Amino acid sequence: MRDITLGQYYGARSAVHSLDPRTKLFSLLLFVTALFFVKDQPLWYIPPAVLLVLCFYAANIPARFALRGLRPIVVLLCFTFFFRMTLTPGTEIAHFWIFTVTQEGIVKAVRMTLRIALMISAASLIAYTTTPRELADGLETASLPLQKLGVPVRSMAVMLMIAFRFIPVMLEEINTLLDAQAARGAEFDSPSVWKRTKYVLSLPMPVFLSCVRRAAELAMAMEARGYQEGADTTRMNPLAYAAADRRVYAAGGALFAVYTVLLVLFGTVV
- Segment 80-108 shows an average pLDDT of 83
The arithmetic mean of pLDDT across residues 16-38, rounded, is 89
User: Long-range contact list for 159-165, CB < 8 A, 24+ apart?
Assistant: 160/132, 160/135, 160/136, 161/132, 161/133, 161/135, 161/136, 162/218, 164/7, 164/127, 164/132, 164/135, 164/136, 165/132
Per-residue b/e over 218-245, b at no fewer than 16 CB within 10 Å? eeeeeeeeeeeeeeeeeeeeebeeeeeb
CA distance 49 to 81: 18
Query: How much of the chain exceeds pLDDT 90, in percent?
Result: 7
pLDDT, one tens digit per residue, over 97-106 is 778 888 888 8
**Is 2's pLDDT higher than 60?**
no
Burial (CB count <10 Å: 0-12, 13-18, 19+), residue 61: buried
267 against 156, higher pLDDT: 156
pLDDT in tens, 109-161: 888 888 888 988 888 888 888 888 888 888 888 887 777 777 777 778 788 77
Q: Say if CB 114 and CB 42 are below 8 A apart.
A: yes
pLDDT (tens digit, 9 = 90+) per residue, 189-213? 777 777 777 777 778 888 888 888 8
Query: Which pLDDT score, from 0 to 100, does residue 269 have?
Result: 47
Q: Which of 11, 15, 34 is nearest to 259 (CA)?
A: 34
pLDDT band at 232 (very low <50, low <70, confident <90, very high): low
Contact 144, 22 (CB under 8 A): no
Q: What is the pLDDT of residue 23?
A: 92
Distance of CA 131 to the CA centre of its chain: 14
Q: What is the pLDDT of residue 230?
A: 63
pLDDT of residue 161: 78
Asked whether 263 and 269 are in contact (CB, 8 A), the reply is yes
The reported pLDDT for the residue numbered 4 is 57
